[in-house]
Amino acid sequence: MNNSRREFVKASSILAVGAFALSSAPSLFAAKKPKKITGIQLYSIRDEMKADPLGTLKQLAAMGYKNVEHANYRDRKFYGYSPAEFKKILGDLGMKMPSGHTVLRADHWDNFNHDFTDEWKYTVEDAAFMEQKYVISPWLDQSLRNSESQVKEFMDVFNKSGELCNTYGMKFGYHNHDFEFSQKLDGKVLYDIIMDNTDPDGVIHQLDIGNMYNAGAKAADLLKKYPGRFESIHVKDEIETKGNEHGKFESTILGSGIINVKEVIDLAAKEGGSVHFIIEQEAYQGKKPLECMKENIQIMNSWGY
């Protein structure tokens, strides 16, 4: 409130003040909308991160990236750096790491002791040290999806991981590929089984809007079917290809493919509860990956993200 407005309120009658307070109440007590987070999945520039992680991060920071999502956590290190070292590197560059990808495997859960192994506990502990909001598993091994009952059993582990992450103020998440939409178990689509058996309070779903295209699924349909379940989105565009390791479709520069990306992420923000938007591109059509990342962040910024 500016000074002139403040003086006006002071000088007003009690009735006027009361009327002002009542008329202002909805805006004063309205819930504050979460701030949108835009970042990059570092798998997009995986070869560059392997060859020169520090130099690559400096280039990303110069492009305007403020947030990264890791895809390399091994032996309690991020891209070869300890959590303390990597956190300092990011901090010095004005960057944060609100999320990361680490596969939750079957052997991370000890059935005998009904508890997670130290390896997974360290994964969550180190994520918390990095001040992550989300610990995301980007894969469900084939050995864990042979029947509906087997998937349900492992979704209990997902929920327990959500509880563990909650103790650190974080959430556990799952990131889809395409098999979740093409595989059916006992007549049910695998993705529906996953969604129906994960606790929304502890498990978020990071919807990759591009991966599903190889199974014929569309992000808009999922956002409408499961409103509020997708705090995090992998922002990706797709083009048809003759066929390679990515399938019938492969990723490309945002806005240049067949997905109406802007429309989808706007719907995600409105219906999906999405606040976390992560750019990912895995194929480059002859361009250099870092050049693609520069174009992508500029496009996202032009869309208001």
State percent of the chain over pLDDT 70. Answer: 88
Q: Could you tell me which residues come within 8 angstroms of residue 303 by beta carbon, excluding any fewer than 6 positions away?
A: 262, 265
Give the pLDDT of residue 18. 38
Residue length of the chain: 305
Q: What does each C-alpha distance from 183 to 108, 190, 198, 212, 215 come to in angstroms?
A: 24, 6, 18, 12, 9
Q: What is the mean pLDDT of residues 192-218?
A: 97
Average pLDDT of the residues of the chain: 91
Radius of gyration of the chain (CA): 22
Is the separation of the CB atoms in 169 and 128 below 8 Å?
A: yes
Tens digit of each residue's pLDDT (9 = 90 or more) over 129-167: 999 999 999 999 999 999 999 999 999 999 999 999 999
Task: Name the band, by pLDDT with cuts 50, 70 and 90, for residue 35.
Answer: confident
**How far is it, in rounded angstroms, from Cα 200 to Cα 129?**
24
**How far is it, in rounded angstroms, from Cα 182 to Cα 115?**
32
Is 19's pLDDT higher than 60?
no
Q: What is the pTM of this model?
A: 0.89
Give the pLDDT of residue 247. 79
State percent of the chain over pLDDT 90. Answer: 87
**How far is it, in rounded angstroms, from Cα 124 to Cα 164?**
8
Domains identified in the chain and CATH numbers: 1-30 (no CATH), 34-302 (3.20.20.150)
Give the pLDDT of residue 32. 58
Q: Which of 5-19, 67-81, 101-115, 203-217 has the lowest mean pLDDT?
A: 5-19
Give the pLDDT of residue 14. 35
Q: In the chain, how many H helices and how many E strands? A: 12, 16
Tens digit of each residue's pLDDT (9 = 90 or more) over 69-113: 999 999 999 999 999 999 999 999 999 999 999 999 999 999 999
Is 16's pLDDT higher than 70?
no
Give the pLDDT of residue 219. 97
Q: Within a 10 A sphere around the Cβ of 237, how many other Cβ atoms? A: 23
Is the separation of the CB atoms in 104 and 139 below 8 Å?
A: no
Is 126's pLDDT higher than 90?
yes
Q: What does each C-alpha distance from 54 to 35, 63, 96, 176, 264 come to in angstroms?
A: 27, 15, 14, 29, 33
